[in-house]
Amino acid sequence: MNPIRPLLRGASPRIPIPLRLSSRVISRAFVSTVPTSIAGFLDFKPHEPVSDVKVDGFVRSVRAQKRYHFVSLGDGSSLESLQAVVPADQAEGLTLGAAVRLHGSWIPSQGRGQSHELKVEQATVLGPSDAKTFPIQKKYQTPEYLRALPHLRPRIPFNSAVLRFRSEIITSLTNFFGSRDFIQTHTPILTSSDCEGAGEVFHVSSSDPTPSPSTSKTSKSFFRRPVYTTVSAQLHLEALAQALGHVWTLSPTFRAEQSDTPRHLSEFYMLEAEMNFTDKLDSVMDLVEDMLRHICTDLAGSRVRDELLVRAGERPTDLATAEQVSQRWEGLMRKDWPRITYTEAIELLKHSETPFVHSPIWGKDLHTEHEKYIAMKVGRDNSPVFVTNYPRDIKAFYMRANAEDSDASTPGATVDCFDLLVPDFCEIAGGSMREHRLGDLLASMRAHGIDSNSSSSSDGGAESSKSAENNLNWYVDLRRWGCPPHGGFGLGFDRLICYLSGVQTIHDTSAFPRWYGRCDC
């Protein structure tokens, strides 16, 4: 019999139907639309009460009355708290800092300050807290005090908002680079190369105990050569770019600077990207400009951006004003950021009537006071400013020599590079075209006092020892076999968070900050 005919006559086919599969499909069709986070509940405003809801969170405050306790609840998803009305006989253990699960009805609120509230029918304490000893109190606590409690500090509502902001920027960056066909990569944290050549690196060694005289006279190194924590992913990104095309990474970097300022961390995150087959620095600057504009445009209407503008309580000096932060966002969203050369910047500073502590001199680094003046004077309506073509002697060895120097318009040799300056905060990013020609790279390394002949050194002398401490042989090799013109940039991710959130010190943008003298957990 033809198996199709019963179907054509309307008869049921003799094919067994798995009932379990069918019921599973039906059950998934009725997924609850009730929120699962406190941020979701705060946006959930039904006209009629919704029964049988569950809310998990941490107690932020408790106001006890005879019949009811009014509990403010947070879970890190929102700066604002959820109000729960708990019967007095259900309120035992609902103390400051406790982790709780509340069951009840989500109803329109009769009180002021919130549109809805949770009418609790059952309260369960999942993680008790001694309110008397809990270090995070409702009253104002200084950033200095909170930095001594890095394991608890993220529970402060504004601090959790900053951490959510970090997450949303990362999502936005991932989408941006994906739309530009960049490949995200993971570069090593341990390296045998000092990218910047400044020597401010952490040396890495194993925890093996020092050998006793009876077992060994010399300790054996874990690696074959000195190894450090990375100061930049750039060199490795250049290698990956030759294999993958345009690449980017967001990874931790480390600097052993003995500096305790609001602008320095010993461990921080760098956003870095490399563009292969790229001839001009303008392409790299265009990428940075488009990227930062995308982030601000993408997040301009987000909940967390609005929360970052809230200025409540006693935090006048901890944060930039809401107006300042709004102006920063608007500046980054403007088009066509100004671009001037270092030489033009020096001339601008020399003709300024502003009395600088450090006189602007061609061939010297720009100081913070200089960068702030340039950003204010050149930037249009708080837009950032690119400063290009710095003197060769104050920049890194890997930067490409500037061909425009031949017209003698500058007092000395320059390199094809830029720093990005923003109002109030100065430099947040820097980039360059990389020297892709073997001979020119070797000459630049020699000019910067870096041994470029380590691969042929075999006498074991001082030259060989110096080379072993900063292994750049592999980086030179990249120029030997098919190295096209390329360029890239690095952006201090924590500084960007500072700038866009209004947080005044970089120590408060990271969940567990490390800086000179401080690594508390």
Q: CA dist 99 to 43, 150, 383, Å?
A: 22, 19, 44
Output phi, psi for 320, to 5 deg. Answer: -65, 155
Both tokens of 448, joined, read 């910067």
Decide: 262 and 506 in contact? Cβ < 8 Å. yes
Angle at 349 (CA atoms; ends 424, 359), nearest 5 degrees: 100
User: What per-residue confidence (pLDDT) applies to 314?
Assistant: 53
pLDDT tens track for 260-294: 888 889 999 999 999 999 999 999 999 999 999 99
Chain-centroid distance of CA 432 in Å reads: 21
Long-range contacts, stretch 300-304, CB < 8 angstroms, 24+ apart: 300/329, 300/333, 302/168, 303/39, 303/78, 304/161, 304/164, 304/165, 304/168
- Bridge partners for 58 per DSSP: 74, 99
Distance CA 234, CA 388 (A): 19
Residue whose pair of structure tokens reads 């033009």 in the numeric block: 344
Kindly state the tokens that stand for 493.
């991710």
E strand spans, 237-367: 247-254, 267-276, 339-341
Report which residue type is found at 491. L
Rounded Cα distance, 338 and 384, in Å: 7
List, in sequence order, every residue forming a beta bridge with 56; answer none if it has no partner.
101
294: which DSSP letter?
A: H
pLDDT of residue 406: 55
Residue entry with tokens 């609790």? 120
- List, for the chain, all residue ranges whose pLDDT scores fall below the cut of 70: 1-32, 195-199, 208-220, 312-316, 405-408, 452-470
Residue 504 burial class via C-beta count within 10 angstroms: exposed 0-12, middle 13-18, buried 19 and up: middle
Q: Give the span between the Cα atoms of 471 and 452, in whole angstroms.
A: 10
Q: What pairing do the DSSP bridges indicate for beta strands 116-127 and 82-87? A: parallel
Which tokens sit at 361?
């001199």
Whether 417 and 432 have beta carbons less than 8 Å apart is answered as yes
DSSP letters spanning 419-470: EEEETTTEEEEEEEEB---HHHHHHHHHHTT----GGG--S-SHHHHHHHHS
- pLDDT number for residue 514: 93
Task: Give the separation between CA 229 and CA 212, rounded to whole angstroms.
Answer: 28
Per-residue pLDDT, 276: 97
Give residue 436's pLDDT.
97
Nearest residue to 277 (alpha-carbon basis) of 22, 9, 482 = 482
Amino acid present at 174: T
- The SS3 of residue 495 is helix
pLDDT digit string, tens, across residues 502-515: 999 999 999 999 99
Q: Which helix (H) or strand (E) holds 102?
A: strand 99-108
- pLDDT of 259 reads 83
